[in-house]
Structure 1
Amino acid sequence: MKDLLNRLIQHETIDKDEAKSALLKISSQEINPLQIASFLTVFMMRKITIEELEGFKEALLETCHKIDLSAYDAMDLCGTGGDGKNTFNISTAASFVVASLGINVAKHGNYGVSSISGSSNVLESIGVKFTNDEKRLQNQMERTGICILHAPLFHPAMKAVASIRKSLAIKTFFNMLGPMVNPSQPKHQLVGVFDLELLRLYHYLYQKTDKNYCIINDLNGYDEISLTGKSRLISTSEDMYINPQDFSASQIKPQSIYGGKTVDEAVEIFIKVLKGKADEAQLNVVSANAAAAIKLKKDISYKEAFDLAKNQLKRAKAYQVLMNLKEETHAYS
């Protein structure tokens, strides 16, 4: 690692095999924490290359605890995080909306690092229990239409760097990797990324797979559709810009989707949204992101998908899925 760090500090890039090897060593805890912190820091100071990102991805997938959910033709809705916007848990809320419509969801997530509350913080606070037991996860999918794949239970490297990432408290390349390394590797995926360069990298790598995907970057710097302005969207079938008006929604202000100062505040917002009792702006932004996911599975317009999603929120159907999941995760306690 010392030689590799010296090269990186001299502004060199590394190839795919070197990147993969470095992350494999981190996974097996062969690298000391200070060297890991230095390694992460290098990639905060310059853009990551496609080869480096692909090598890191291969290492995480090679070492992860894999789960077979292929029978459920599932989808993941996952953002990279790292946009520094501290929104409420929009993609997680959208996941429950999608599941309430009969589209199976294998939600990959983690604790917040650069934000107050990640998806795992909120769900754990509500009482959802995490597991990496394949049979239990299959049961959750069978009975509720959704299961939660808490990243540290599946990825040794993410577990090894968890405390370091928390101490750094800013985005690292692990943010970039999160959506790519869902341990069930679902066929369908909605991915939110924090800048257009990462959108390009994701599109390049996803084109090499058989995934049915949609990658989103909000031009105001969000890793999801924020409805504060225009978003760039690239999928297996289209490359376009999408506006709030495409959902027949109004443009909103950034403070409308603020996630609060504590996990408790984030949980309160999350539950209000799923119960359909939140502000119109909050309901609309969740419905818009759910709509982008729904459109991957249904041949309907964004407006029609948006209306479907919002109706589920208004009827508290997404909240019922959450309660069903919570109950199911306690079934084996």
Structure 2
Amino acid sequence: MAADLSITPLLKLLAQYQESEDKTVSHDLVVSVTAAFASILTENGINEAQRSALLTAMSFSGLSYNSDIITPIVKVMRSVAVKVPIDFHDREFATKKLKLKRHNYHGGFVDIVGTGGDGHNTFNVSTTSALLASPYLLIAKHGNRAATSVSGSSDMISALAGSPSVLSVPPEAVGPILTHHSNLAFLFAPTYHPSLATVAKLRRELGFSTIFNVLGPLANPIEGIEARILGVKNKRLGNVFARVLQLMGIQKGMVVCGDVGRGLDEISPCGTTSCWRLVAAPAGSPPGTLASISEFQLHPERDFGLALHPLEECKSRSPHENADIVKSILRNEVPTGDPIMDYCLLNSAALLVVAEVVDDWKEAVGLIQQAMQEKASLKEWEAYAAACDALHQKNSK
């Protein structure tokens, strides 16, 4: 372990920021905070007392939700993550991407994730939506175990597979699975972000959300993400996260917050959802031109042609109970108008629109329903689960 690095000057800067009426974030503060987190993520050279003080000061000052602060730290976090060695020039992989290309979607990786912590304990809609959209998209679903809900994405995926083998896929196997077996890949966060293990105990002991709760959903380790949907737990974070995606150079993306109570980190089945969509820079724009941000609302009936459902009917159950529901959805055994089914249709259809497979929300719903009727989503999942199981058995010998 490296010798302890003192961040006392930074802690003084943070104290001054918190006490000041001027909430302008200076360049010096950004540089100092980024350097401190780089040390935590690479060397663990800051003692626990100062790491605790840093996380606390960041949270209580509101800087954990500042786009100028978040963006460089996300870049550091992704730079030290375990890489997924995808050969984008591989002929078979390129052919697969070409087959998926449709309208303005170019066959790139797509992700959908919520920040969590909204307190609603809803069904695993992001993960299920990724599965439903997989016949049309190259899915790189980044997920973890439950933090504040009954069933996290990896908890449900493991239960759905009937084996933890889907969580033990090594990074070097992701490319071959995507190339030869399925449009799906589940990237289990601890595999790709081992540096976070050094702060896990501290985060538990602090007992409140820290900037690491914010960073996780932004830190998908795979390169070449074409489009993503990111759910946030309250509306004041919408523009913040949209700005972070914009500064990261994302051209296709949407941040969503359901207008339910304090906020829902998914597209709401029971009313309006506030959205901040990244609109790609026009063709011919200079390299590095950032996307613009368009703010609007979506509604299940008006935009998707789906019925409204109370959120109470979309609650999460145990991972195994949720997995049983997902199996029924993938097998097209769930009746039309089922609340959880419609909840998943909303979010999976939105993923198709954000990726620009189609431009119309209702048309996107129709495509997802068609994939369900043809059991195409089920085939993608079964192919992925089988590939993971075969790999696990091979490595266990």
User: Shared fold by TM > 0.5?
Assistant: yes
Check conservation: 1:80, 1:179, Cα contact below 8 A: yes
- State the 1:23 CA deviation: 1.7
Equivalences, count: 331
SS at match of 2:228: strand
- State the 1:68 CA deviation: 4.4
* C-alpha separation in 2, matches of 1:270 and 1:162: 30
Over 3 Å counting, the alpha-carbon distance change for 1:90 and 1:290 in structure 2 is same
**Counterpart among 251, 254, 276 of residue 214 in structure 1:** 254
Structure 2 residues not aligned, in runs of 5+: 1-5, 20-24, 89-93, 98-107, 280-293, 393-397
Over 3 Å counting, the alpha-carbon distance change for 1:164 and 1:267 in structure 2 is farther
Over 3 Å counting, the alpha-carbon distance change for 1:194 and 1:159 in structure 2 is same
Residues 202-239 of structure 1 show CA distances to partners (whole Å, capped at 9, x for unaligned) of 22222231432122121221111021210122223343
Over 3 Å counting, the alpha-carbon distance change for 1:181 and 1:307 in structure 2 is same
SS at match of 2:166: coil
**Counterpart among 188, 191, 197 of residue 230 in structure 2:** 191
Check conservation: 2:169, 2:388, Cα contact below 8 A: no
Residues 126-147 of structure 1 show CA distances to partners (whole Å, capped at 9, x for unaligned) of 3242356443101221211011
Q: Does 1:205 align with 2:244?
A: yes
Q: Does 1:286 align with 2:347?
A: no
**Counterpart among 343, 355, 372 of residue 313 in structure 1:** 372
Give the residue type in structure 2 aligned to 1:321.
Answer: E
Which residue pairs with 1:140 in the alignment? 177
Which residue pairs with 1:322 in the alignment? 381
Over 3 Å counting, the alpha-carbon distance change for 1:194 and 1:135 in structure 2 is same
* C-alpha separation in 1, matches of 2:201 and 2:372: 36
Residues 75-113 of structure 1 show CA distances to partners (whole Å, capped at 9, x for unaligned) of 1112212212111111110111111x2311111111121
Check conservation: 2:81, 2:192, Cα contact below 8 A: yes
Which residue pairs with 1:234 in the alignment? 276
Give the residue type in structure 1 aligned to 2:307.
Answer: S
Q: Does 1:248 align with 2:305?
A: yes
Check conservation: 1:273, 1:282, Cα contact below 8 A: no
* C-alpha separation in 2, matches of 1:211 and 1:291: 19
Which residue pairs with 1:162 in the alignment? 200
Check conservation: 1:189, 1:211, Cα contact below 8 A: no
SS at match of 1:259: coil
* C-alpha separation in 1, matches of 2:207 and 2:325: 23
Check conservation: 1:88, 1:270, Cα contact below 8 A: no
Check conservation: 2:234, 2:257, Cα contact below 8 A: yes
TM-score (norm 1): 0.89
Please tell me the root mean square deviation across aligned C-alpha atoms, in Å: 2.5
- State the 1:265 CA deviation: 3.3
TM-score (norm 2): 0.75
Q: Does 1:151 align with 2:151?
A: no
- State the 1:54 CA deviation: 1.8
Check conservation: 2:268, 2:343, Cα contact below 8 A: yes
**Larger Rg belongs to:** 2
Which residue pairs with 2:121 in the alignment? 86
Give the residue type in structure 2 aligned to 1:251.
Answer: L
* C-alpha separation in 1, matches of 2:189 and 2:202: 16
* C-alpha separation in 1, matches of 2:204 and 2:333: 33
Over 3 Å counting, the alpha-carbon distance change for 1:163 and 1:88 in structure 2 is farther
Q: Does 1:272 align with 2:272?
A: no
**Counterpart among 305, 314, 336 of residue 257 in structure 1:** 314
* C-alpha separation in 1, matches of 2:229 and 2:148: 21
* C-alpha separation in 1, matches of 2:325 and 2:15: 43
- State the 1:9 CA deviation: 5.1
Which residue pairs with 2:69 in the alignment? 52
User: Percent identity between the aligned chains?
Assistant: 24
Segment drifting more, 114-123 vs 156-165 = 156-165
Over 3 Å counting, the alpha-carbon distance change for 1:26 and 1:256 in structure 2 is same
Which residue pairs with 2:136 in the alignment? 102
